[in-house]
Amino acid sequence: MSVSRRSFVLGALVTAVAGAGSAKADVPWHRYLAMREEASEVLDITVGSVSEKACEDAHTGRHMTRIVAELKVDTVVRSASRLKDGRTIVLKYNIVADGLTLVFPPRFLKAGEHLRVYLMHRSDGYGLAAGKASFEDRRTA
């Protein structure tokens, strides 16, 4: 094998190994903060009902938990969808059970919690705008 071919193969191997190691790496925290800043909906809410359903991703086969929560909007901080205080909205998101997608997945919600949430409006309700950083305890908001 020539020197240039050996260098190429070694470089490809190093890249593949480094890439495989970073596949489980989490997004840097400053990127989550940037996603918060870009969120179209920033709301202070009270969690109403929460349902959790175990399911499997149709494409990857990964086990996950589907969260569907009703949120009462206490205060609108910012809303591109023109939400008003007092409205009830539906939030839907998944938590991957195998932990391969996110090092620190989004939290499970509990009825009665008071949070500041960073969301995006979708056709079927609302989704998380900043992954695990989409929820903030209102006492620190």
Distances (CA, A) of 126 to 10, 39, 91, 106: 46, 11, 5, 15
pLDDT of residue 63: 87
pLDDT tens-digit map of 75-127: 999 999 999 999 999 999 988 866 555 445 688 899 999 999 999 999 989 99
- Domain range list for the chain: 26-140
pLDDT tens-digit map of 35-73: 999 999 999 999 999 999 999 888 888 888 999 999 999
Q: Which two tokens stand for residue 96?
A: 């991957």
**E strand map for 1-124:** 41-56, 63-79, 88-96, 114-122
Fold (CATH) for 26-140: OB fold (Dihydrolipoamide Acetyltransferase, E2P) (2.40.50)
Mean pLDDT over residues 17-36, rounded? 66
Q: Per the confidence metrics, is the pTM higher than 0.85?
A: no
